[in-house]
Amino acid sequence: MEIAGRIVVVTGGGSGIGRALCECFHREGAKQVVVADIDGSLANAVAESIGATSVRCDVAREGDILALVAETEERHGAIDLFCSNAGIAAGFDPSVDNAAGASNDVWQRSWEVNVMAHVFAARALIPRMKARREGYFLNTVSAAGLLSQIGSAAYSTTKHAAVGFAENLAIAHRDDGIHVSILCPQGVDTPMLRGLPQGPQGSDGIISADEVAVAALDGLRDERFLILPHPKVRDYIANKARDYDRWLSGMARLQKSMRA
């Protein structure tokens, strides 16, 4: 997929990876970039800086996503690329005593934002895209959805679920002309990462949000399902599949070293 001339929506577009995606798509000549964020002031600032449109949107609310899709298509035309990028990292504690110990509120909010937001976007857009026989979803997930995340079962579990949903989306709608990619970085220099305790997510180097956006652009051009800004993740996936027990032992050792 080439971005030039396309109408693109980015959720969580007010900062971090979302902001970098908006700026990258603008440079690539998108016809219209719609910056959606729960923080309307951040969305406005990004939109003003690139001559885009901003919308306040809480992706955990299906009504907000329905309104975002309807307003965008009424004002600008059919959405070519929907970047379901917003996410949260809650309940992080590398020395946690109980993997199930996060509060119900943490689990519920993680589920709503990290999983159901993707579902809501697809539910709103699939009928429209099927009618046109084209459309693209770029879902920002995380390497944690492919591997795991020491210190947050809620984050890791919901990111795994996001991968599973994206796989189903890609399988079910390939013949409808709809493409799906998942963006799965490790450590990225964003406000989200800077707000977390030190963990293994930066062990292969913390890259910039702009680097992630460039990797996303390359993956979209190739229409690859799996986009890995940290190439080393591919080796970790292979090692996990090759010997699951050995991989679990290694992760347990890594967690133990973090507690020392």
Class of domain 7-231: alpha beta
Residue among 163, 241, 152, 154 nearest 199 (CA): 152
Check the CA dihedral 211-190-5-133 and report its sign.
positive
CA–CA separation, 153 vs 107, rounded Å?
Answer: 9
Determine the Cα angle at 183 with ends 42 and 132, to 5°.
85
Global pTM value: 0.93
CA–CA separation, 71 vs 60, rounded Å?
Answer: 18
CA–CA separation, 66 vs 165, rounded Å?
Answer: 19
Residue 205 pLDDT: 80
Q: Helix (H, G, I), strand (E, B), or coil: what is residue 43?
A: helix
236 is catalytic: no
Are 63 and 84 a contacting pair, CB within 8 Å? no
Residue 8 pLDDT: 98
Domain ranges within the chain, ordered by starting residue: 7-231
End-to-end Cα spacing for the chain: 47
CA–CA separation, 83 vs 12, rounded Å?
Answer: 9
Q: Helix (H, G, I), strand (E, B), or coil: what is residue 218?
A: helix
Q: Which of 136, 155, 236, 244 is catalytic?
A: 155
Which residues, including other chains, have CB under 8 Å from residue 57's CB and lie 6 or more apart? 11, 36, 37, 38, 64, 65, 67, 68
Determine the Cα angle at 182 with ends 178 and 183, to 5°.
140
Residue 196 pLDDT: 52
Residue 192 pLDDT: 63
Residue 95 pLDDT: 63
- How many CB atoms neighbour CB 62 within 10 A? 17
Are 190 and 19 a contacting pair, CB within 8 Å? no
Helix (H) or strand (E) holding 179: strand 178-183
Q: Is 251 exposed, middle or buried, given 0-12, 13-18 or 19+ CB atoms closer than 10 A?
A: middle
Check the CA dihedral 237-126-46-28 and report its sign.
positive
DSSP 8-class letter at 204:
T
Mean pLDDT per 10-residue run, the chain (260 residues)?
Answer: 98 97 98 98 98 98 98 98 95 75 93 98 98 98 95 94 98 98 92 56 79 98 98 96 96 81
- How many CB atoms neighbour CB 210 within 10 A? 16
